[in-house]
Every structure is written in C-alpha cells, then in structure tokens.
C-alpha cells in the first residue's frame, strides 16, 4: 500500500482565530491566572486544552463567572445581554470577537435602526447566530435551508439579508437565490462580509478533492467551517472524514487509495496536521505535495487588554 499525500493550502488558523488565542494568552500574562473565557475561544478541543494548561477557565454560562473577574468573550461574538450581565457582575470584558463577526453585528444594528427586518442565513444553534439574533430578537429570522427560504413568509416589506461568516458564497448561494427571486427589494449582504478564510479553505479543498480518493478534514465536530469542508470534499468526489486528530483514522480507509488529501478547519492548529502527515507516512505515504490556492496576509489588530 503506497499513496501520495496532498495538502490543501490555505488551511488551519485564520486571522480571527490567531487573534483570539493571542488575546487569551496576553490576558493571562497581564492579569495572571485564572482568566475566564466565555464559551470555547475557538471550536477546537486541542486549543482549549492547551489554554487551560496555561490558566484559562472556560465557561458556557456567564453567570458562573465570579464577580470582579477578568473574562474573554470568544471569537464567535456575543449577544448584548451578556455584556449587560458582565457589567452587573463587575467583570472586566476583553472582547475577542472576530472583526468580521463584529462587522455583521454592526450591520444588524444599523438595519434594525432604519426599520428593516433581517433574514439571517446560518445555523440556528451556532453561537455566532445566537449572538447576532441577540441584537434584535423580534426583528431577525434565521433561515438554514432552501426549503425554509421557499416557505418563508416575510414580516415586513423592508428586508435585509445577512449571513453567518463561517458559510461561504457556495454554501449560501441557493438560499440567497430563492430569497432574491421571492423578494426583489431585499438588501443583499456586502461581498466583503464573506469571510475570506472560509471561502479560501473551501476553494483549496475542492482542488485536492478532485484528485484524491480520500480527504481528511482535521477539525472539531463543533466547528461549522470544518463540517462544511468535509461536505465540499464529498461534493467534489472524495470520500471525506472529519477527524479531530490522526488517532481517529481507521486504516481500512486507506485501502486501495493512490492519493490522500488533508486540510484543516480555521480553528485547527498546524501541529495536528503535521502529526497526521507523520502517521500517514508510516502507513504508506510516499510523497507530500502541497497545493496552494491562495496566499493569506490578513492580520487583525489586537484590542486593548
């Protein structure tokens, strides 16, 4: 059994994830242990465990954080009520919300202020969608599928459309096409609202999926963008598996394959990719070929800590 290993590039950490992790580390360095983090800073268990070792305590409910503590809000964004609770508890909030997510929050606020009803294309239970909806719960509806779009009954003639940043142009195209046809007056999302990292990683995995029988997407089951990468790889012809690390690989998946692809979600550290490569090289991998689809130079400014 021998096969080539194709690596998608770009893959792994995006600028928003890099920024969020650095914020937690800088907060620990400045204020000492413990630093509380509301929700997983990014959706990757390895990253969370490493930060826990350094002194971060992760909580899902802001009410569980002791009064007068330091808290970092995760990269996914938070509803306004969490900031209000933090103020009542005298918490010092360090906001690690991805700037691209913050931009969508600001647009939602502006649309509601100007009398628009918002249709948000995303996953209802995803923390990013929950944060956006918190800006004006009675003025935002979340649509997940084409069927929901077809059956949607508007609550206003003034409609605006926003999308979850972890969804690409391809992910939302069908739904947006339906909504545009049904509601020609709807204000569409700005092109710059599309997360560059989500789109780049999907475009990169398309290229390797076309030449590989199997593609491993390294990422967490909770990671929206990692799940989408697996779906894209399947759509473009490869048998695809979403795994948290090489330890989840079933060697039977490698039977009779000539080309194996690897990519990773935007919350996945490169060390997990390298360990997967090492594992595959021990099991018949002969050559590692990196297929570059885009060069990313974006870096987001850090907040005051």
Which tens digits make up the pLDDT trace of 189-235? 887 677 899 999 999 999 999 999 999 999 999 999 999 999 999 99
Separation of alpha carbons 137 and 102, rounded Å: 17
Please state whether the peptide bond connecting residue 10 to the residue before it is cis, i.e. omega within 30 degrees of 0: yes
283-302: average pLDDT: 96
71-78: average pLDDT: 97
Q: How many CB atoms lie within 10 A of CB 166?
A: 28
Distances (CA, A) of 3 to 236, 255, 284: 20, 10, 6
- Delimit the domains of the chain by residue range: 3-13+196-292, 15-98, 100-193
For residue 28, what are its two tokens?
A: 């620990």
CATH classification of 3-13+196-292 is 3.40.1010.20, yes or no? yes
Residue of 107, 128, 135, 213 marked active site = 128
User: Residue 284: left if φ>0, alpha if ψ -120 to 50, beta else—which one?
Assistant: left
42-65: average pLDDT: 97
Separation of alpha carbons 179 and 161, rounded Å: 9
pLDDT band at 104 (very low <50, low <70, confident <90, very high): very high
What SS3 string covers 231-300?
HHHHHCCCEEEEECCHHHCCHHHHCCCCEEEEEECCCCCHHHHHHHHHHHHCCCEEEEEEEECCCCCCCC
Chain-centre distance for alpha carbon 47 = 14
* CATH architecture classification, 100-193: 3-Layer(aba) Sandwich (3.40)
Separation of alpha carbons 3 and 251, rounded Å: 13
pLDDT digit string, tens, across residues 130-175: 999 999 989 999 999 999 999 999 999 999 999 999 888 888 999 9
Chain-centre distance for alpha carbon 69 = 27
Domains 3-13+196-292 and 100-193 alike in fold: yes
Q: Given this model, what pLDDT does residue 175 score?
A: 96
39-54: average pLDDT: 96
| More confidently predicted of 136 and 57 | 57
pLDDT band at 299 (very low <50, low <70, confident <90, very high): very high
1 pLDDT higher than 80: no
Q: Please confirm, yes or no, whether 128 is among the known catalytic residues.
A: yes
Q: Are 6 and 261 spatial neighbours (Cβ–Cβ below 8 Å)? A: yes
279-290: average pLDDT: 97
pTM value is: 0.93
Q: Given this model, what pLDDT does residue 79 score?
A: 97
CA angle 66, 85, 100 (to 5 degrees): 110
Separation of alpha carbons 120 and 213, rounded Å: 35
β partners of residue 301: none
**Least confident window among 88-102, 178-192, 215-229:** 178-192
Q: Given this model, what pLDDT does residue 223 score?
A: 93
DSSP assignment letter at 121 = E
Closest CA to 219 of 235, 234, 240: 240
Q: Given this model, what pLDDT does residue 150 score?
A: 98
Separation of alpha carbons 24 and 66, rounded Å: 18
Give CATH for domain 15-98: 3.40.50.11270
pLDDT band at 244 (very low <50, low <70, confident <90, very high): very high
Q: Given this model, what pLDDT does residue 189 score?
A: 86
Q: What is the mean pLDDT of the chain?
A: 96
Distances (CA, A) of 292 to 8, 171, 200, 295, 296: 6, 22, 10, 8, 11
DSSP H stretches of helix in the chain: 15-31, 45-54, 80-88, 99-113, 127-133, 146-151, 169-182, 196-209, 224-235, 270-281
For residue 112, what are its two tokens?
A: 């509601």
**Least confident window among 84-98, 143-157, 160-174, 285-299:** 160-174
| More confidently predicted of 170 and 81 | 81
For residue 231, what are its two tokens?
A: 């779906």
For residue 51, report the phi and psi dihedrals to the nearest 5 degrees. Answer: -70, -30
Q: Are 300 and 17 spatial neighbours (Cβ–Cβ below 8 Å)? A: no
């Amino acid at each position: 059994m021998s096969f080539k290993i194709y690596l998608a590039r770009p893959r792994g950490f995006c600028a928003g994830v890099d920024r969020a992790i650095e914020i937690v580390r800088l907060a620990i360095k400045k204020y000492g242990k413990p630093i509380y983090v509301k929700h997983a800073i990014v959706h990757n268990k390895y990253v969370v465990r490493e930060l826990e070792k350094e002194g971060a305590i992760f909580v899902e409910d802001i009410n569980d954080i002791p009064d007068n503590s330091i808290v970092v809000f995760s990269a996914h964004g938070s509803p306004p009520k969490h900031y209000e609770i933090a103020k009542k508890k005298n918490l010092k909030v360090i906001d690690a919300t991805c700037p691209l997510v913050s931009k969508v929050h600001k647009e939602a606020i502006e649309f509601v202020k100007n009398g628009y009803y918002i249709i948000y294309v995303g996953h209802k239970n995803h923390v990013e969608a929950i944060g956006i909806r918190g800006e004006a719960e009675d003025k935002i509806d979340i649509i997940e599928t084409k069927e929901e779009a077809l059956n949607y009954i508007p609550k206003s003639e003034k409609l605006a459309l926003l999308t979850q940043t972890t969804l690409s142009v391809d992910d939302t195209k069908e739904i947006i096409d339906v909504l545009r046809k049904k509601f020609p007056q709807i204000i569409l999302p700005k092109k710059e609202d599309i997360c560059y990292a989500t789109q780049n990683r999907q475009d990169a995995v398309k290229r390797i999926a076309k030449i590989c029988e199997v593609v491993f997407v390294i990422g967490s089951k909770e990671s929206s963008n990692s799940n989408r990468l697996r779906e894209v790889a399947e759509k473009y012809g490869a048998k695809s598996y979403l795994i948290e690390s090489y330890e989840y690989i079933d060697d039977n998946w490698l039977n009779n394959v000539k080309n194996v692809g690897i990519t990773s979600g935007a919350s996945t550290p490169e060390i997990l990719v390298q360990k997967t490569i090492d594992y595959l090289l021990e099991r018949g991998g002969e050559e590692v070929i990196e297929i570059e689809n885009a060069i990313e130079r974006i870096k987001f400014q850090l907040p005051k800590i």
